[in-house]
Amino acid sequence: MTNSEIEIKAYIKDFESVLNFLKNNAKFKKKYFKKDIYYAREESIKKGNIKTSNCIRLRVEHGGYTFCSKDRTLIDGVEVNEEREIKVSKKKARFIINFLYKLQKYVEYVRKGKKGYAFIYKNALVEISRIKNLGDFIEIEFLNSDKSLENQVSELKSILKEIGIDENSIETKPYIELLSKR
């Protein structure tokens, strides 16, 4: 399945304050723990030449397994992603990992553990997460919206401000890049 995702990501200085704002003003969706394993080509890792568009993410969440690849662009600090996702069983996930290794020499590159809370606020999905070895983050996104890109970027920044997070806290680098430097 292919999705268009417009997303803003920022550091959170006061996790409890943001959580309380969302509990009081947004619709609670779920609590989550996501384990992401990013795979990249062995030779790209050795050369230190990792392009996120050439990486594959395996997400393990609530017993489900989802592979994802993204084409990512930035517009005024906001990510615009074209995502391709496929949900598989654990057995098929192992098969795909072995297949990718044999076919293109894809190996594990970095892991991300992400736990937090998801809410719906003003028609946006808002997740606040504690990410192992990186800190606390908020992600606000629209999926497959029919509004113009400019309107979505403006709305995301407006929501970020309403929640009490300054635009200076926006992080434009992908998690995989931040984790690889640890």
Give, as one character, the DSSP assignment of residue 138. E
Q: H helices within 8-130, ranges in order?
A: 15-25, 42-47, 90-104
Distance between start and end Cα atoms, the chain: 32
pTM, two decimals, is: 0.90
What is the predicted pLDDT for the residue at 146? 83
Summarize pLDDT for 116-156 with one digit per residue, the tens: 999 999 999 999 999 999 999 999 998 767 888 889 999 99
- Tell whether the model's pLDDT for residue 2 goes beyond 70: no
- Residue 69 in contact with residue 51, Cβ under 8 Å? no
Percent of the chain surpassing pLDDT 70: 98
Query: Hey, CA dihedral for 111, 68, 73, 123, is it positive or negative?
Result: negative
